[in-house]
Every structure is written in C-alpha cells, then in structure tokens.
Amino acid sequence: MNYCESSHQKTLEPSHYEIIMSMRYNLIKCSCGFSFGSTKSKENYCTKCGSTRNLVIVEKFENPEELARAISFANLPDEISEELILKIKEKESKIKTNKINNNNDLGGLSVLKKATDKQGNLTKSSLDKFLSEEGSIESSSEYLIGQAEVQGFLIRVNENTWNWLS
C-alpha cells in the first residue's frame, strides 16, 4: 500500500461547503448603467445589455444576501432611491428596536398588551395587524399567544379572542 492509499491521507481538494464559503460576491456596474452580481472575476457580461466591456467591480461582499440588497439599491431610479432607502432604514431600525424590546419583555408580553383593545380582549387579527405595523416578524401571532396561554397570562374566550388573567 502506497501513501496515497493510506487511510490517513487528507485530500487537498476543498469541500463543496468550503468552496461556497470562500466565494466573493461582486457587485458589477456596466457602462449602460445597470448593476448586477457575479461570483466570477473574469468573463462577466451585463445581464441587461449583454456587454462584456467596460464592466467595473464596484464592491465585494461576503454573502449573497448582502449582494442582492446592494444590487437592488444600485438599480433603483434616482427619483425614488433616497426616499426608499430612508424608509427601509426606518423599518430596519423599528425591527431592531422591537426585537430588543421583545427579548426584554418576557418573550413579547408587551407586544400582546399593546395589541389588546380597551375592553381587555386580545384577538389574533389585532395582534397580526400590530406585528405587521411594527415590523415584528420574528414570531407569529399564534406562537406569541400560545406562549402566553401556556404561561398562564391569557385565557381563550372564543376561537379568536383571549382575555388577560393577570
């Protein structure tokens, strides 16, 4: 048995996971003004006009999600880009704040309280509406209500309505 057949041999070829994790995701801008993404450093072409010339790598990203977001922003019409970017940042800030608040308030108990009406009733639809408006998409209304029921904070009145026990 030679060394290559040894059971202790380590392959020098990277695994599929290592290849994917080592990829660089490039934001590329074409002379036609269109931006697109690629993992190649050579042989790129514009997905809008087909050009292979005057392509510039604008930025490199570690993951495809960041690249997708950058492509979206890069291809926004100038007339709406500032307004849209501001709205997206506001929404992200709300989500981050709500995430922190939910983690600090016994798993989102304050969210349930805020979605409760003046009569002390909590409905699935009022909670869904509140979660949507606040950008809280980490947990579903069913999950939050279920947790509050199990912990003894809520009692079901009918199919879609709960009351507070404490």
Least confident of 45-54, 105-114, 148-157: 105-114
The radius of gyration of the chain from alpha carbons, rounded to an integer in Å, stands at: 25
Give the three-class secondary structure for 108. Answer: coil
Distance CA 86, CA 73 (A): 11
Reported as a single tens digit per residue, the pLDDT across 95-104 is 666 555 544 4
Minimal CA–CA distance to 164: which of 112, 102, 106, 108?
112
Distance CA 113, CA 60 (A): 44
Distance CA 97, CA 137 (A): 12
pTM beyond cutoff 0.85: no
Q: How would CATH label the architecture of 104-164?
A: Orthogonal Bundle (1.10)
Residue 2: φ, ψ to 5°: -90, 175
For residue 154, pLDDT beyond 80: yes
Looking up tokens 């408006």 gives 133
Higher per-residue pLDDT: 1 or 130:
130
Distance CA 143, CA 111 (A): 12
Count of beta carbons in the 10 Å neighbourhood of residue 45: 16
Structure tokens at 113: 């309280």
Q: Where in the chain is the domain with CATH 1.10.10?
A: 104-164
- Of all residues in the chain, what percent carry a pLDDT higher than 70? 74
Reported as a single tens digit per residue, the pLDDT across 62-95 is 888 899 989 988 998 888 888 887 887 877 777 6
